Amino acid sequence: MDKIKVGIIGTGNISGIYFQNGKRFEAMEVVACADLDVERAKARAAEYGVRGCSVEELLADPDIQMVINLTIPAAHASVCLQALEAGKHVYVEKPLAVSREEGSKVLELAASKGLLVGSAPDTFLGGGIQTAIKLIRDGRIGTPIGATAFMTCGGHESWHPAPEFYYQKGGGPMFDMGPYYLTALIAMLGPISRVTGSARISYPERTITSQPKYGQKVKVEVPTHIAGIMDFAAGPVGTLLTSFDTMGGSTLPRIEVYGSEGTLLVPDPNGFGGEVRIWQAGAREWSDIPLTHGKADNARGVGAADMAKAILSGRKHRASGELAFHVLEAMHGFHDASEQGAHYQMKSTCETPAPLPVGLADFELD
């Protein structure tokens, strides 16, 4: 079949898995990469046998139909807008943008030009979450009533070489890890109608204990402990806790979904596989469920490949810009609700992504 020719902008560490997996999907071919540091782009290009160039050269290449934007979050919107202005479809790492206003501009420009926007995370297309989606759709837990999701850790300053970003605007546990959890929940339960929550900055300053910045102080600008409540449009009520302040660890599950006929234990949404377990009404213990979908440990890039397939076939793509914007709005909504002491009514909605068919091989989409 034909392949969509793809250029990658941003050649940091995460780009490696996109280059590797880009060779495994039938719908796209990575042919070039670019970076503000052109020499770094050329070095990365030589490593993977593609062309390295400047951002301007990549965007001017008429053969490149789609851009994968792997820049830092603060640059996500501006690079997406540049790619769209150049007539390219664009798939961006999470989050779609830092602000709702920027996210709206990206979607509006894409719509005006008839181009597609997609966004990570695409982990909900992995075997773990897809198996959970199938169980819910098959009625194995009855009617969904609620869900809980927990992302807790002690912060990144103990291990990350440059952790400052995580405590600045656009960072914090909600914007860092919330996209994984919210995307998985929406994929299972549908869009959100309103949110509320409480958020706090527990420590106004953090001390880096990793190298090479050991001992440096970081001023905290964003909430680091956020407890949120979600009303899903279809009826379920969800709870989401994201925290960089659990210094003693946690035994909380990643995600549980509660239904009228049972409970579903959903694996870590920051991965593609994991264990799926169910406790049905009348049972005396958990039952392990074999994965019904692909079992690849790291299929990162599947969302971009799915969008490439959509460009070729005309069908809808799953990791859509509308889904990413809905997640972005919800994350801001938790913060807004805490500041204002009120519920935040969601203004956006999105289609629930279509599940993947059962029986596909790893890296196969249809």
Please determine, for residue 365, whether its predicted confidence score (pLDDT) is greater than 90: no
Model confidence over 264-320: pLDDT tens digits? 999 999 999 999 999 999 999 999 999 999 877 899 999 999 999 999 999 999 999
- pTM, rounded to two decimals: 0.96
**Which run of H or E residues covers position 108?**
helix 100-113
Residue 320 is classified by DSSP as B
Work out the average pLDDT over 248-275: 96
pLDDT digits (tens, 9 = 90+) for 139-173: 999 999 999 999 999 999 999 998 998 999 888 99
**pLDDT at residue 1, rounded to an integer:** 60
pLDDT at 360 over 90: no
| Backbone CA torsion sign across 51, 106, 98, 253 | negative
119: which strand partners?
92
